Amino acid sequence: MKIWQASNGELRRVLEGHVFDVNCCRFFPSGLVVLSGGMDAQLKIWSAEDASCVVTFKGHKGGILDTAIVDRGRNVVSGSRDGTARLWDCGRSACLGVLADCGSSINGVAVGAADNSINLGSPEQMPSEREVGTEAKMLLLAREDKKLQCLGLQSRQPVFLFIGSDAFNCCTFLSGFLLLAGTQDGNIYQLDVRSPRAPVQIIHRSGAPVLSLLSFRDGFIASQGDGSCFIVQQDLDYVIELTGADCDPVYKVATWEKQIYSCCRDSLVRRYQLSDL
């Protein structure tokens, strides 16, 4: 992994230690620490200041495909090809539990604060005191077997299970009850956790896989396997295309204030500067 100075593209740090592909990486809220997951089934925490790997979590039996940070980052969640989602204690570098074991690859995970109206159930046993910030949170799992699963992060109890048109690749929360999930056949489902049987809407712009979804201002940003990357505003009539990727898949999108970053199979990270929308 490489850490760049965003303002001028200068390479600042190289984080080396994973074997095989690194599938996902993100900063902790402090901005000084990085969480990564790889095909070596390892989850690692790094110092962005000196590039050292400070913690390695082992326990998954397959590659880690996505991660989520709980609150300020005392706990993190990982989803893996081994079909499990796990909760980890960063301070003790220990697994606090298997949150879900679904027998199908977990391609995407998201954690969000739940609206008060949503019943998250109660934990069957007393949560460990090492669990910090898991109460009143939902965990969303985008699964390879065409299922989108939501459960209480602390309770581990099911909230809903939704079956889509194809494998789910990614998911994100828009609010305490609205969420998005993208499929391999190009559908973006918007669901309301309070009545998840029927989607609020399905957005379909092309048949290319939806690879990344990110809540942004009043709407969201999506990227697809055909190189398209776009911002959708709340009313959906207003779409801004982020161009440049041609036909190569845009794997991931990230934002910081008015900057949007995309990473593409053509080996480029692109930075877009937004004026006031």
Q: Could you tell me if residue 210 is inside a domain?
A: no
pLDDT band at 277 (very low <50, low <70, confident <90, very high): low
List C-alpha distances in Å: 198 to 161, 164, 180, 206, 264.
11, 10, 13, 21, 33
At residue 35 the predicted structure's pLDDT band, cuts being 50, 70 and 90, is very high
In a domain, 40, yes or no: yes
By the 10 Å C-beta count (0-12 exposed, 13-18 middle, 19+ buried), 48 is classed as: middle
Question: 85 lies in a domain?
Answer: yes
154, two tokens: 């602390």
Report pLDDT for 257. 86
As a whole-number percent, the residues of the chain with pLDDT over 90 amount to 92
**CA-closest candidate to residue 133, choices 77, 82, 195, 70:** 70
- For 195, phi then psi, to 5°, come to -145, 75
d(CA 30, CA 264): 26
- Find the mean pLDDT for residues 82-111: 96
In a domain, 241, yes or no: no
In a domain, 244, yes or no: no
pLDDT at 275 (0 to 100): 81
Instruction: Write out the residue range of the structural domain in which residue 186 sits.
Output: 2-204
Evaluate whether residue 35 is within a structural domain: yes
Please, what is the average pLDDT of the chain? 95
Q: Determine the Cα–Cα distance for residues 196 and 184; give it in Å rounded to an integer.
A: 20
**pLDDT level of residue 233 (50, 70, 90 thresholds):** confident
Mean pLDDT throughout 77-102? 96
In a domain, 129, yes or no: yes
Residue 107 falls within a domain, yes or no?
yes
CATH number at residue 64: 2.130.10.10
Span 264-277, mean pLDDT? 88
Distance CA 185, CA 209 (A): 5
274 confidence band (pLDDT: 50, 70, 90): confident
Q: Which residue has the tokens 């194809």?
A: 166
**Model confidence, pTM:** 0.95
187 sits in which H/E element:
strand 187-192
- pLDDT grade, residue 235 (50/70/90)? low
Name which of 56, 27, 250, 245 is nearest 1 in CA terms. Answer: 27
Count the domains in the chain. Answer: 1
